Amino acid sequence: MLSKIQPIARVICQNITGRFIHNPSARRTMKSGIRFSKTAKELPKVVASKDYSEPNSSWSQEMMKLYEQYIEKTKDGSWKKLPSYNRFLVLNEDGHFIDKFPPSKARLFTRNTEEEGSMFEYVVFANKVEKKAVGLFQSGDLLEGPSGFVHGGAIATIVDAVSGTLATYVAGFVMTASLNLDYKNPIPLGSTVIIECQLEKKEERKSYVNTRVISHDCTKLHTESTALFVSVNQKNPYQG
Ligand SMILES: CCCCC/C=C\C/C=C\C/C=C\C/C=C\CCCC(=O)SCCNC(=O)CCNC(=O)[C@H](O)C(C)(C)COP(=O)(O)OP(=O)(O)OC[C@H]1O[C@@H](n2cnc3c(N)ncnc32)[C@H](O)[C@@H]1OP(=O)(O)O
């Protein structure tokens, strides 16, 4: 399905509340079955969007402390806080939203609930020169695997999300081609961890990212991972 839209599509991140696409006059259906809605410029303000990586009342002291440390690092411009929405929108070259999925239902897996603190609370900072990203992640109760610890699949998800964000930031739109994890120590449910990603190398379309998940006080190594992301033909969403 992706290959059909690659030649014409560009990608931006937006929050979709579902309201704007329910305006029937803003849509028409093409013969291909792809529906187009208003251009991005015409979309009502409601689209522009909740950044799910802003602090909320569920964030622990550890999470807030780390967040403030990294916000400090953004002040000289070396690090950037990357926003995080609950869906990606795909636009064609005329800026028309290609509405391929039921908008009121599809959600980015890591941002699929409005209940603060219950699942993935995280924020990503990135440093383009050093080709690094840091994710601050606080796990919620709904991510339990072994009693009292985070599920391995949830760990894989957040590692994929943060390392994929770095690959996207550096290389534009990517797909995860492989993701290998070594679980060294379980992550206590509800705790805050630091996800450190480094772009190891980039060979044409292939971006290799190494990741370590460590405890918020940097005393324990929880997980290590290596991942390969392959660039696909989309515009870099972080370059506007
Ligand atoms: C990352 C998300 C992007 C979203 C961007 C949008 C907005 C961004 C905003 C924020 C970003 C935020 C978050 C990131 C969030 C989440 C991350 C989640 C990402 C995912 O959840 S994503 C779903 C799971 N993912 C798949 O569903 C992929 C299924 N798959 C395929 O779609 C194809 O398989 C593809 C495209 C991977 C390659 O296909 P292709 O036809 O384009 O290219 P080809 O096969 O020729 O491979 C080219 C070169 O990569 C080598 N290569 C390929 N695969 C390899 C492997 N496994 N091991 C070793 N090498 C491999 C080849 O050997 C060749 O190497 P060489 O050029 O040297 O010959």
User: Which value does ipTM take for this structure?
Assistant: 0.93
pLDDT band at 114 (very low <50, low <70, confident <90, very high): very high
Residue 196 is predicted with a pLDDT of 98
d(CA 235, CA 95): 12
Specify the pTM. Answer: 0.82
Q: What residues form DSSP beta bridges with 202? A: 207
Q: Which residue has the tokens 């015409």?
A: 42
Position in ligand 1 atom list of the atom nearest CA 229: 37
Q: Atom 43, ligand 1: which residue's CA is nearest?
A: 230
d(CA 204, CA 225): 21
Q: Atom 13, ligand 1: which residue's CA is nearest?
A: 165
Among 151-155, 158-162, 167-171, 206-210, name the one with the lowest average pLDDT.
Answer: 167-171
Q: Is 72 exposed, middle or buried (0-12, 13-18, 19+ CB in 10 A)?
A: exposed
Q: Which residues line ligand 1 (CB under 6 A)?
A: 11, 13, 88, 160-161, 164-165, 168, 173-178, 205-206, 228, 230, 232, 237
Residue 96 has pLDDT above 60, yes or no: no
Residue 13 is predicted with a pLDDT of 33
Residue 97 is predicted with a pLDDT of 52
Going from the Cα of 110 to the center of ligand 1, the distance in angstroms, rounded, reads 19
What's the rounded mean pLDDT across residues 120-144? 98
Position in ligand 1 atom list of the atom nearest CA 160: 17
Going from the Cα of 229 to the center of ligand 1, the distance in angstroms, rounded, reads 5
Cite the DSSP H helix spans in 43-122: 61-74
Going from the Cα of 173 to the center of ligand 1, the distance in angstroms, rounded, reads 9
Question: Which residue among 86, 230, 233 has the greatest number of ligand 1 atoms within 8 angstroms of its CB, and so is best to mutate?
Answer: 230
Q: Atom 8, ligand 1: which residue's CA is nearest?
A: 237
Going from the Cα of 28 to the center of ligand 1, the distance in angstroms, rounded, reads 32
- What pLDDT, in 10s, does the model give residues 22-61? 233 333 333 333 333 444 444 433 344 688 999 999 999 9
Task: Based on the residue annotation, tell me whether 160 is a catalytic residue of this protein.
Answer: yes
Going from the Cα of 153 to the center of ligand 1, the distance in angstroms, rounded, reads 19
Active-site hit among 51, 76, 94, 160: 160
Residue 126 is predicted with a pLDDT of 98
Structure tokens, 106: 């599809």
- What pLDDT, in 10s, does the model give residues 190-222? 999 999 999 999 999 999 999 999 999 999 999
Q: Which residue spans within the chain are E strands per DSSP? A: 10-14, 28-29, 35-39, 80-82, 87-91, 96-99, 120-127, 132-139, 174-183, 192-203, 206-215, 221-231
